[in-house]
């Protein structure tokens, strides 16, 4: 669909409720990953832009933190209503920016962020509440100014996963969307300006991680960092944040495993695993990129996986029938294809797909849906995050070995277990060292916590668990009479 120039040409940041020019005056061209053509541009910010946004957030913090929960919830509902009216535009922009098939953009890239706003509006009405412990009253207070840095693969969803709980908790925010997919964040800015959202509560500075992200993380007046992205960059965020001892919430990389137990319905489990791997073209941190099956069922599992992979057809992501969009940008396409070549060099069996461009596709940053069999647990394609439509199938000689393989990476973000016995699957699921486990294809829950063990991150997103990440806990000690009066005053 054609876009109005005001939607795709964004020379300004959003600071203190207004659109302001970047100090540096530079802009970045945006490339449509399907057409491979420039279709828009965005301002490239500087440390001076970050400083202006942080000062605005700091000034807005006392008034926003003092608002009642009901008042904050009211603003959430106004935002949700205004964004719902723009849902089709948001979905189309997400598809143009990073290549998600439009059917997927309408759901995951558009409806889920709006649902997060509604979810936090409801959570605000429920708590959290103060606790009385003996002669102490334990209270929760907003941490302060939060720097929120989102990744490019789910632009608005990841941004809202940070901004919504932060401002629900009473914090103010300086947000940086990815420089690869910043446009829907600016629709949020449009909406906030339109409804008169309190100035300075949410500020958006566009730019690169090096120039804007590092300035946010290092800024002495930022109290907390929330970041989604690679583990490598997460280490850098931790290092820079250490200079001012900031609170951190990090959602990082993953190499998540589906464990198919011997008593599982094999076909259903394998097809579910392929779908869990190839979601959003595999450009998903929680993608189930390893499939661990009983050794005696390995070859049958490969046949099923190849058949399911064939259903992911590359094509124009704006076409409703397309099930596999391009990779978000050229360098990432090249990286994924190189991993496929690595898998072949390591001796894994290439069942379907490969490093060449898909047949019949003349443009776009596409990668063939690829399945490897006979993958060694210690191989690179079984250990490193590929972030594309590449599934590694591994054989396990026992349930204990399957669990060992599943836990045998530096990551611990997501997992899945399949069994005909739910209790059996639950026992195995509890043995997986990861922050979320899907049992027999269990569905997405927007209020359940998500986050990582090991080098997959720190902290949790979604639901009241996310709100608590953005709060500090204070204990106040009273004599018994004073505590009774303080409790009665609430």
Q: Which positions are catalytic?
A: 251, 285
Work out whether the CA dihedral 283, 286, 287, 292 comes out positive or negative.
positive
Strands (E), 344-467: 349-352, 370-373, 390-396, 415-418, 437-439, 457-458
3-state SS assignment for residue 214: helix
Q: How far is CA 273 from CA 404, 411, 414, 416, 449, in A?
A: 19, 18, 12, 8, 21
Which of left, alpha, beta for 440 (phi over 0: left; psi -120 to 50: alpha)? Answer: left
Q: Please identify which residue in the block is written with the tokens 């490239």.
A: 44
Distance CA 13, CA 189 (A): 9
And the tokens for 422?
């739910």
471, β-bridge pairs? 142
* CB-count burial class (<10 Å; 0-12, 13-18, 19+) for 190: middle
Give Cβ neighbours of residue 258 (< 8 Å, ≥ 6 apart).
269, 272, 273, 276, 288, 290, 291, 292, 415, 416, 417, 418
Residue 63, number of CB atoms within 10 A of its CB: 13
Distance CA 220, CA 51 (A): 10
Distance CA 160, CA 151 (A): 12
And the tokens for 130?
């103060």
Q: If we measure between CA atoms, which residue out of 447, 455, 459, 452 comes closest to residue 437?
A: 452
């Amino acid at each position: 669909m054609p876009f109005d120039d005001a939607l795709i040409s964004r020379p300004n940041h959003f600071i203190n409720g207004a659109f302001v020019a970047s100090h540096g005056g530079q802009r970045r061209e945006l490339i449509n990953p399907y057409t491979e053509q420039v279709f828009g541009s965005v301002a490239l910010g500087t440390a001076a832009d970050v400083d202006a946004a942080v000062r605005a957030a700091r000034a807005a913090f006392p008034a926003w933190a003092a608002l009642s929960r009901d008042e904050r919830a009211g603003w959430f509902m106004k935002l949700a209503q205004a964004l719902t009216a723009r849902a089709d535009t948001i979905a189309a922009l997400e598809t143009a920016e990073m290549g998600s098939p439009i059917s997927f953009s309408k759901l995951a890239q558009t409806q889920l962020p709006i649902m997060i706003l509604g979810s936090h509006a409801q959570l605000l009405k429920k708590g959290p509440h103060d606790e009385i412990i003996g002669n102490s009253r334990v209270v929760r207070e907003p941490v302060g100014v939060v720097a929120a840095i989102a990744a490019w693969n789910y632009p608005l969803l990841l941004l809202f996963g940070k901004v919504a709980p932060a401002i629900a908790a009473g914090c103010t925010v300086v947000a940086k969307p990815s420089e690869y997919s910043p446009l829907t964040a600016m629709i949020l800015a449009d909406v906030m300006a339109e409804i008169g959202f309190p100035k300075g509560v949410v500020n958006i500075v566009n730019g690169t991680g090096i120039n804007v992200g590092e300035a946010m993380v290092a800024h002495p007046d930022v109290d907390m960092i929330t970041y989604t992205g690679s583990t490598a960059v997460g280490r850098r965020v931790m290092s820079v944040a250490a200079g001012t001892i900031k609170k951190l919430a990090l959602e990082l990389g993953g190499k998540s495993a589906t464990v198919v137990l011997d008593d599982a319905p094999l076909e259903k489990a394998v097809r579910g695993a392929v779908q869990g791997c190839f979601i959003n073209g595999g450009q998903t941190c929680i993608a189930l990129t390893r499939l661990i099956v009983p050794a005696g069922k390995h070859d049958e599992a490969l046949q099923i996986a190849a058949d399911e992979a064939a259903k992911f057809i590359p094509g124009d992501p704006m076409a409703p029938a397309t099930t596999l969009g391009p990779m978000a940008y050229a360098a990432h396409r090249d990286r994924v294809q190189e991993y496929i070549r690595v898998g072949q060099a390591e001796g894994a069996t290439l069942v379907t797909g490969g490093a060449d461009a898909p047949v019949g596709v003349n443009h776009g940053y596409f990668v063939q849906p690829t399945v490897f069999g006979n993958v060694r647990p210690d191989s690179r394609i079984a250990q490193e995050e590929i972030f594309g439509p590449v599934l590694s199938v591994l054989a396990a000689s026992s349930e204990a070995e399957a669990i060992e393989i599943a836990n045998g990476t530096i990551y611990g973000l997501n997992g899945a277990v399949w069994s005909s016995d739910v209790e059996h699957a639950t026992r195995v699921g509890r043995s997986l060292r990861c922050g979320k486990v899907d049992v027999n294809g269990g569905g997405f829950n927007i209020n359940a916590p998500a986050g990582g063990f090991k080098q997959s991150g720190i902290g949790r997103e979604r639901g009241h668990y996310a709100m608590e990440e953005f709060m500090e806990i204070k204990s106040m000690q009273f004599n018994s009479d004073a505590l009774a009066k303080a409790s009665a005053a609430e």
